[in-house]
Amino acid sequence: MDFSPLTDALASKSYGKIADICDELMLKGAAEMEGVPFEEEWPFAIHLLAHIYVNDTNSARFLWKSIPAAVKERQPEVVAAWGIGQRLWTRDYAAVHEAIRAFDWSQQIQPLVAAFSEVYTKRMFQLLLSAYSTISIQDTALFLGMNEDDATSYVLQQGWVVDPDSRMLIVKKQPVKTEQKLDSSKLQRLTEYVFHLEH
């Protein structure tokens, strides 16, 4: 099976495209190799992590269920990748970082895991930003997967403020930019109104 599109995407760090590439290659492989098992050479860990990277936990879950038990037993990296997916599936957001750090990832997968960790930290920051007006330093560190000092430094760079007495972080909401969009029906009604006034 030709994995060159996948290796090219990994080399160019186009992690957002890898899930689609893997899905397409898997379908092509299943059609071309009908009756011939290709599961042994399939990069299930990369495939799972690619779905997780694009926040498609449903697809990762269905892929996990389709992986043969023998592959799960022989490839601990596949199990570790699904460990991240499980934490996301059960919405145990703080444990995602623990699952990432709990395994010694292979050289091929390590950059994808590091990129996911960075994207996930940004997602969690956005979640905290939208959900809280104040939050403890300890909880922030837990959600961002950092120690308390690093988490404090990270959010201070984003404009948050620390209340030293209560050890709470005051969330600085980002200004919401709203663009007024004029749809064609409103424009049509305005035109008819102006026309009616003039005639």
93, 117, 141 - which closes a domain: 117
Domain co-membership, 5 together with 95: yes
pLDDT per residue as tens digits for the range 113-136:
999 999 999 999 999 998 999 999
pTM: 0.78
Domain co-membership, 14 together with 92: yes
Where would I find the beta strands (DSSP E) of the chain?
A: 134-136, 161-163, 168-170
Q: Find the domain containing 192 and state its range.
A: 132-198
What span, in angstroms and rounded, lies between the C-alpha atoms of 79 and 166? 41
Angle at 99 between CA 150 and CA 22, to 5 degrees: 115
Q: Fill in the amino acid letter for 183.
A: D
pLDDT per residue as tens digits for the range 39-56:
777 899 999 999 999 999
What span, in angstroms and rounded, lies between the C-alpha atoms of 6 and 119? 20
Number of domains in the chain: 2
Domain co-membership, 90 together with 136: no
Domain co-membership, 104 together with 149: no
